[in-house]
Structure 1
Amino acid sequence: MPLCTILQRAAETESLNTNCVDPLGRSALLMAIDNENLEMVELLIEHKVDTKDALLHAISEEFVEAVEVLLDHEETLHKPGEPHVSVFKN
């Protein structure tokens, strides 16, 4: 069974924390970017994963498609008069 299918089923039952990190502090989103898995990046964003530094990571990894998806996602969250990034939040 493909990993994306497993994630979809687990997210539907709310039994999966998509924001968890491994012992090195890497999230599923960062690992999807590292592996250039655009389908997983899109799926994680669809399930409201915390994007934190994912945009900067995608830029660093030169994963252009993920950069575009993350920028589109940020645009949907943006409210006029507020910063475009969440690094200013405590």
Structure 2
Amino acid sequence: HLIKLFLYVYNSYSYVVVVFNASPTDISFTSPVLRGKVLQLHPVQMMSNDNLVKNSTYDPSSGRFMVPSRTTAVFVEPRNIQE
């Protein structure tokens, strides 16, 4: 099962960024390395009933992430965007 999962992720996404925010406050940070990437919140999280995780954002022009308190957010770039 792990091999199938790996192949699915590998074939679907060119980038996967996981942000763990265990703090009681929202965090934001900038990653110059990821500036310009077309990252979006993972589709499962976008369709989730968890409204807190849906408030997680990424700004491609600055490479800035914002993740609410006590939230794990997964940002992905679909493979076909860069290829």
TM more than 0.5 = no
Q: Higher helix fraction: Structure 1 or Structure 2? A: 1
Structure 1 length as normaliser, TM-score?
A: 0.28
